[in-house]
Structures are given as C-alpha cells and as structure tokens.
A and B are shown apart, each in its own frame.
Chain A
Amino acid sequence: MFELLGIPPQVLMGQLLIGLINGSFYAVLSLGLAVIFGLLNIINFAHGAQYMMGAFGAWMLLNYTGIGYWPALILSPIVVGAIGIALERTMISRLYKLDHLYGLLLTFGLALIIQGLFRNYYGVSGLPYAIPPALQGGQNLGFMFLPNYRGWVIIASVVVCFGTWFMIEKTRLGSYLRAATENPELVGAFGINVPRMITLTYGFGVGLAAFAGVLAAPIYSVNPNMGADLIIVVFAVVVIGGMGSIMGAILTGFGLGIIEGLTRVFYPEGSAVVIFVIMAIVLMIKPEGLFGNNA
C-alpha cells in the first residue's frame, strides 16, 4: 500500500474512521439542535444531558430489566423523548414569548440538574456497556480493519440523518413543520395544532439525542459527564454550519468529524481545538455560517 506524507495508510484510515464516528455523533446531535431551534427558537442546552440519558437508558434497561441493545435502541429514545416532552410542557413552553436567552438559561439549568443527579447515583468513573453479540468482531478490508460495531454506528447515523431530512423536506408532515417555522400564526389559522407540533418536535429532537447516546454507549463508557463537553463542540459545529438548513447540519457534522480525524493524524496537538479554529475562520469570512441565512 502507498504511504501519504509518511503516514502509514492504516493509521490514516484508522483516524479517518474515528473522525467519521465522531462526525456521526456531531451530525445527529446538531441535527436535533437544528430541528428544535427551527420550531422552538431555543437552543437546547440540555441536549448533551439528554444524549447521556439515552446511553444510561440503554445501560439501565440491560442491568435492571435484562432488555438488550436492539430493543433499547428504540425504547431508550422513546422514554427520554417522553421526559423531554414533559419538560417542554411544564417549563420550556412558558418561555416562548420571552427573549431566546431565557430558553438557553433554563435548559442549562436542566442540564445541571440531570448531570448532577446522575453523578450522585452513578459516580463519574463510567459504566461498561458491551457491544451486542451480532456486531462483535470486524471486517478486514485489505487496507484496514473495520470493527463491525463502528461500521454500524456510521450506517445507523447516516440512515437516521437522511430519514429526518426526508421527513422534514419531502413529506406532508414536514411541510407543516417548515411552514410553522416560518409563520406559526398562519399555520395555526389553517387548523393545525401548532403547540402540539412544537411539543412533539421537541420530543423528537430529544429522542435523536438519546438515540445517539445509545449508539455511543458501547464505544465510550457510559458516564454522567459524557454529554457535557461534547455539546460544546456541537455548538461550534452548529455555529459553523448555521441552523437554517437540515442538510447543512448533517454535512457540517460529518465533515468536521473527518477534519478532526485528519488533524489527529497530521497535527495531534491541534485535534482538540481544530473545530474551534474553523469556527473562528468561518466567523471571519462568513459570519452567518456555511449554510446559514441571517439569523
């Protein structure tokens, strides 16, 4: 096999794979943020905590009830999404008429509460979650070794992202959603229950975060702080992409994951900050974001 700039292809491909995995999580999480922001006009600071709840949901289902990975992949997002809906109905819905910043502060408070509670009961050391038997092992692709589970994470994220994109951009339900984003009063006048749609949208966005959490559980250890630092990177991803476009959020997420992976190969010290540096460059050149409209 060829060598690129003195980097063995196995190393390059390995880091690209990790980048793609991280990118999958960035994409699913920033997609959820964008969907929520589009309709609710709030930035869901609790998104990282809800991602963590998804992972814990899978862990709890396995350890307390014996329910395995595959049912958990559906059940955990539904449960976490339902909790999200309860939060939206009782608290977040009271803030729609106020400055957007209050939504940020409220969800930040919720994130602190959720993370604090989980830290109390489960500590910070992290809990193991095994890869499901069907996805153990890996494939030898000739130029690299691909663990089955990692391949699955990428495929599942791509499918979920494009499924969401299709639903919002190509279906009737999605057209209501886009219309309500533009002008909620008018859509309400057509007899569509906009408040219910807002509630379900929040539940869906939260469910997406929880889904990413379940996907992440076998890769990273299940840890109360797993979402806290991730969400800040996802915020940077959202600033880079702009939240005006669903496809934009998906492409930016995957793209930045890959760039981060490449940075880890060529300049490892910079890998933690490369996304923030890109954010600074984007702010200088195109402040509204790569796919953004003036918001």
Chain B
Amino acid sequence: MSTSENTKVALPAMTHTVGMPRHQKIIFIVLLAVLLALPFVVYPVFAMKVLCFALFACAFNLLLGFGGLLSFGHAAYFGMASYVCAHAAKVWGLTPELAILAGTATSAVLGLVIGSLAIRRQGIYFAMVTLAFAQMVYFFALQAKFTGGEDGIQSVPRNDLLGIFPMNDDMTFYFFVLAITYGGILFIYRITHSPFGQVLKSIRENEPRAVSLGYRVNRYKLMVFVLSATFAGLAGATKSQVFHLASLTDVHWTMSGEVVLMTLLGGMGTVLGPIVGAAIVVTMQNYLASLGAWVTVIQGCIFVIGVLLFREGIIGVLSRILKKPL
C-alpha cells in the first residue's frame, strides 16, 4: 500500500510503461478467448448481462480508481441511456447501433451537466451530490411520459443491425455485445494508460501539487467524469437491447450501490478488478434470486467485510502477491 494511506483511498501502485506490458497483453488475449467461448458454456443472455455490468463497473472504476472520485449516482447514466436507447429502438425504430449511440450520447450530456456541478465539491460531499442528482433523475424517470413510469419500456424490439443483419438470435447478438463491451474496456484501458491518465493519477495523489504544476484540475476531473458517464451509458444502452427492457431498476440508487460493490469487490484501480467483481455479483444475483431480500443482506455483508478487511479487492490482492499490476 502507498504511504498516503491516511488521506487517500488506498490503491495499488500503477507503473507507467510504454505500450501494454507483456503480461497484460496475455491477460487481454486470454480474456477475449474466455469471452468468445462463454455463450457456449452458459446461457447467452446471462453472459451478455455479465458483459454489460463488466463495462459499467469499468466505467465506474475509471472515475473512482483512476480519478479518485466516488460517484454514488452512476445509475443515472446507466438508466437514462437504457431508457433513451429503448425509446429510440421502439418508437423511432432505430437500428441497434444507432439506438445505443443515442442512449450513450444522452449519458454523455447528462454527465457533463451533473459533473460540472458535482466537481465543485470534494470527497464525501461529491458522493452526496452525485447521489442526490441521480435521485432527481430517478424522479424524472418516474414521472416523465416516455419512460412509462412503473412499467418501464417493455418489449423493446431488436431491429436489424445496420438495417441488414437480424439480431433476434441471442447467440448472434452476444458477439455484437461482446464487440461493444470488449472495445469499451480496451478504450478505458487506453485512457488510463495515456498521458491524460497520468495527470489524473497525479490529481488523485496530490491535487494541490497538480494545480501548482499548472494543470487545470477541474477540467481533467470533468473530462474523466464525462468519459465515465459515457461508458456507463454505453453499458446501460446495450443492456436495454439485451433484455428488451428499460425499467426503474436501472436508474434506482440500488444500481449505483451495486456498481460500487462490484468495483470494491474486484479491486479499485485495477484493470481486471471491475470485470471480476461484476461477474461475481451478477452470478450471485442470478443464483440467489430466490432468496429475495437476503441478496441485499449478503451484498451489505460483502460491503462491510470488503471495507473492513479487504480494501484491495480480489484482483488487488492477487496483484500484490504476483507483484504485477493486473
């Protein structure tokens, strides 16, 4: 752990190398191989759910793990994108790629508006502000006409990709979703390992020093906020196409809590952590769904244990043992 543990979120050290380190290249190739084989092993819709949440958690981790900003309102971007995408596909009859694009763009704008206000406060106030704005978005989704209120937008069609390829087969659609999410995760990796990512890291570690070096800190914070909201939107929009549904669940604060849980469990500030965390949480929800409210209790327990004993997360611990950033 770093020496700044007293004041900062403890994060595993990130070393900067030119290009992708060899072991990470191998990890990404193995990951792709696993994901290509996944729908032949498990139910494709379940596999797509894992992919969407993995991208969502990676987007969240971009903000928390690399920007040091804890947003408690990421459901707003995930959920609004899912509504707009569903509306675009159902009412406007847009093709999947355009509907997803519309949803993602909505989240980017929403992220710009909320982010420019939220970065005016730091630390826990930032968390409370993002949570409050997300609740405002929730009330909007509850009352607005196009979202369908309690019913949500149901039986959203999956139109033909590019107007040519039918996408109704889940197995076919899986590979489209895989392309989106894997591309998104690679893109996020690229952001965090760019000069921009290094500046973010310096702001996270020592904001006054970054200011004194002449960086416009708020501009960087806003940029990473918008990027994070955009990728969260991409995940949400894709999810509404997967399930033919956009509902209030996606925009509720429990969803914001879940993405925090996934990232904490997997390991904040790691590349693979959010993916592993998302896979575990989604699997758990899937198999424990019959237990009802006990799932909430179990999630709460993971939070408590994670914060008290296990702050590095699964991948964080692995990364420390192997002495390699994962």
Would you call A287 and B120 a contact (CB within 8 A)? yes
Given A232-B253, A283-B120, is A113 in contact with B301 using a C-beta cutoff of 8 Å? Answer: yes
Given A109-B300, A119-B293, is A102 in contact with B127 using a C-beta cutoff of 8 Å? Answer: no
Alpha-carbon separation in the docked complex, A100 to B68 (Å)? 12
A27 to chain B, nearest CB (A): 17
Would you call A239 and B125 a contact (CB within 8 A)? yes
A279 to chain B, nearest CB (A): 6
Alpha-carbon separation in the docked complex, A111 to B128 (Å)? 15
Interface size on B, residues (CB 8 A): 47
A147 to chain B, nearest CB (A): 28
Given A115-B296, A283-B117, A287-B121, is A98 in contact with B301 using a C-beta cutoff of 8 Å? Answer: no
CB of A105 within 8 Å of the partner chain: yes
CB of A173 within 8 Å of the partner chain: no
Given A106-B308, A108-B303, is A239 in contact with B293 using a C-beta cutoff of 8 Å? Answer: no
For A232-244 the 0/1 string (1 means CB < 8 A from B) is: 1101101100000
Report, as a range, how many residues of chain A touch the other chain: 35 or more
Would you call A279 and B293 a contact (CB within 8 A)? no
Alpha-carbon separation in the docked complex, A58 to B292 (Å)? 26
Alpha-carbon separation in the docked complex, A119 to B10 (Å)? 34
Would you call A116 and B296 a contact (CB within 8 A)? yes
Q: Which residues of A contact B6 (CB under 8 A)?
A: 97-98
Would you call A276 and B308 a contact (CB within 8 A)? no
Alpha-carbon separation in the docked complex, A108 to B307 (Å)? 11
Q: Which residues of A contact B311 (CB under 8 A)?
A: 98, 102
Would you call A104 and B296 a contact (CB within 8 A)? no
Question: Chain A's interface: helix, strand, loop or mixed, by majority?
Answer: helix
CB of B36 within 8 Å of the partner chain: no
Which residue in chain A gives the minimum CB-CB distance to B9? A99
For B1-37 the 0/1 string (1 means CB < 8 A from A) is: 0000111111000000000000000000000000000
Q: Which residues of A contact B8 (CB under 8 A)?
A: 99
Which residue in chain B gives the minimum CB-CB distance to A236? B132
Which residue in chain A gives the minimum CB-CB distance to B309? A94
Alpha-carbon separation in the docked complex, A120 to B296 (Å)? 10
Would you call A116 and B9 a contact (CB within 8 A)? no
Given A104-B70, A272-B143, is A110 in contact with B125 using a C-beta cutoff of 8 Å? Answer: no
Going nearest first, the 8 A-B pairs with the smallest beta carbon separation are A109-B303, A112-B300, A116-B296, A113-B300, A116-B297, A276-B136, A287-B120, A119-B293
Which residues of B line the A interface, CB within 8 A? 5-10, 70, 72, 117-118, 120-121, 123-125, 127-129, 131-133, 135-136, 139-140, 142-143, 253, 257, 260, 264, 292-297, 299-304, 306-308, 311
Q: List 13 A-B contacts (CB under 8 A).
A: A98-B6, A108-B303, A109-B300, A112-B300, A116-B294, A117-B293, A119-B293, A120-B293, A120-B297, A239-B121, A277-B136, A279-B129, A279-B132
